[in-house]
């Protein structure tokens, strides 16, 4: 099992979400691991479709209640800006419209959040990666063992950075802008 596979599993809690920019809800799949068919559909400028799948997190993982996220508009695109010598992505850019409906599964209360924006994903050779919000909106879930967690946060602005270590642990660096904890909003 590769380090990237372990990282993808750890990211399920990131919720199908590192919702970046329209930059994806980095779901449990880092962009470099996006479906192969999407890579074949790349345009002349290197852009490929990138779709954020729906998710559901059990109560206690990020919020005291079960939380689900369903994309209602997803026209994200991804392209590789730099590669490692073996051809795998080293830096990827994700842009485009993404709107997600988040639901407190226990109460049925829901809100829609615009996650449109632009983000860069920089991969380490060890399977780690860093997502940097260049501008727009970004969603991230943090567990109780992550600094600042637990919670599921919508970040709006620029300069926010999420570092995901090869072991799946996460740390969030705040940028300029607003922070909303959906666990509070949907309580």
Express each pLDDT in 78-115 by its tens digit: 999 999 999 999 999 999 999 999 999 999 999 999 99
Tokens 């919702």 belong to which residue?
Answer: 19
pLDDT of residue 24: 36
Expressed as residue numbers, the domain containing 76 is 3-185
Asked whether the whole model's pTM tops 0.85, one would answer no
The answer, yes or no, to whether residue 183 has pLDDT greater than 90, is: yes
The reported pLDDT for the residue numbered 31 is 53
Q: How far is CA 168 from the centre of its chain?
A: 13
Residue 33 or residue 15, greater confidence? 33
Tell me how many domains the chain contains. Answer: 1
Contact 142, 67 (CB under 8 A): no
Torsion of CA 87, 92, 97, 99, to 10 degrees: 100
Mean pLDDT computed over 20-28: 35
Element (H, E) at 98: strand 98-104
Neighbours of 16 (CB within 10 A): 27
């Amino acid at each position: 099992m590769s380090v990237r596979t372990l990282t993808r599993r750890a990211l399920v809690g990131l919720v199908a979400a590192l919702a970046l920019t329209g930059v994806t809800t980095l779901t449990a799949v880092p962009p470099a691991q996006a479906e192969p068919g999407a890579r074949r559909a790349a345009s002349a400028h290197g852009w490929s479709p990138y779709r954020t799948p729906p998710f559901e997190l059990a109560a206690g993982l990020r919020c005291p209640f079960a939380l689900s996220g369903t994309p209602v508009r997803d026209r994200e695109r991804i392209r590789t800006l730099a590669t490692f010598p073996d051809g795998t992505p080293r830096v990827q850019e994700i842009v485009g419209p993404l709107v997600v409906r988040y639901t407190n599964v226990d109460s049925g209360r829901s809100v829609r959040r615009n996650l449109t924006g632009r983000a860069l994903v920089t991969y380490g050779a060890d399977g780690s990666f860093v997502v940097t919000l260049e501008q727009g909106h970004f969603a991230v879930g943090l567990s109780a063992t992550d600094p600042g967690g637990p919670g599921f946060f919508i970040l709006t602005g620029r300069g926010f950075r999420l570092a995901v270590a090869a072991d799946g642990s996460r740390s969030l660096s705040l940028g300029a802008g607003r922070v909303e904890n959906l666990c509070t909003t949907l309580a």
